[in-house]
Each structure stands twice: as structure tokens, then as C-alpha cells.
Amino acid sequence: MSGNQNQDKQDVFAVCQEGVDNVFTGVRQNVPQFHQSITNLQQECIQSCEDTIKSVIAIQKEYADKTDFKPFVSATVLKSFHDGVEEFAKITNIKNQFALATIDATQQGIKTMHDNAKLFTELHKNFVLPWSTMFLKKN
């Protein structure tokens, strides 16, 4: 019975390891596809937004040209619009830098956690295994 129990324990660990391997193999295979899909979606959204705005401007300009409508916009309004667009671009750049810094910090935190877990496991092995051998039966 003792030999059978050892075989069962080994099978449990092997089954667990196999399951973990299968899960992470699947994740690793799907991550590039996920990234590409998200990138494609993002590019499509950006292109759609840009095209829509350009179309609206073109239609308004065409309507104004056909009706001989010449809207008057003061230099102050034009400068305000230009300054607002520049500020929006600066804010977007700062947001992107912040997002990238956050991702980098998160990645470093995960790496640190992983390194700590490896060290803890090694410490645990070095501490527990010598003690546990004192309690194991010698055949």
C-alpha cells in the first residue's frame, strides 16, 4: 500500500505540472494573437475617427464654398483653437508617457515578486527539507 501511495502522490504532482504546462503553453500561444487583434482594433478606431473628422470638415467646407458662405473667425479665435490643439497634443503625450511608465513599473513589480518567490522557495527548501528528513522513516 505504501508503494501505491507514493505512486499516487507522484501522479498527482505530474498531473498538476502537466495541467500548468498546458495552461501556460496556451496562454503563450494566444498572447501574440491577442496583441495583434488589440493593435488592429486600435488602429481601426484611430483611422475611423480621423476619417470621420476629415469628412465633416470637407463637407462643411464644400457647403460653405457652394453657398458662397465665408465665415469670419477672428485671429484670436484661430489662435485659441491652435493653442488648444497644441495643448491637447502635449497632454496626450504626457498621458502616454505616464501610461508607459506605469506599465514599466508594474512589470518591474511583477519581476520583483517573481524573484522574491524564487528566493522564498529556495529558502524554504534549505530550511524545511533538512528538518523533514529527520522525521521520514528509513527503510
As given in the structure block, the three cell numbers for residue 139 are 527503510
* Alpha carbons 97 and 41: distance in angstroms, whole number: 21
From 70, 104, 130, the end of a domain falls on 70
Look at residues 51, 70, 89 and tell me which one is the last residue of a structural domain: 70
pLDDT of 66 higher than 50: yes
- Return the higher-pLDDT residue of 124 and 42: 42
**Quick one: how far is CA 108 from the chain centroid?**
13
| Vertex 122 angle, CA 120 and 128, to 5° | 95
Residue 128 sits in the same domain as residue 81: yes
Q: What is the mean pLDDT of the chain?
A: 90
Q: Residue 1's pLDDT is what?
A: 45
More confident residue, 41 or 3: 41
Radius of gyration of the chain (CA): 31
User: Domain range holding 46?
Assistant: 1-70
pLDDT band at 4; cut points 50, 70, 90:
low
Number of domains in the chain: 2
How far is Cα 133 from Cα 118, in angstroms, rounded to an integer? 22
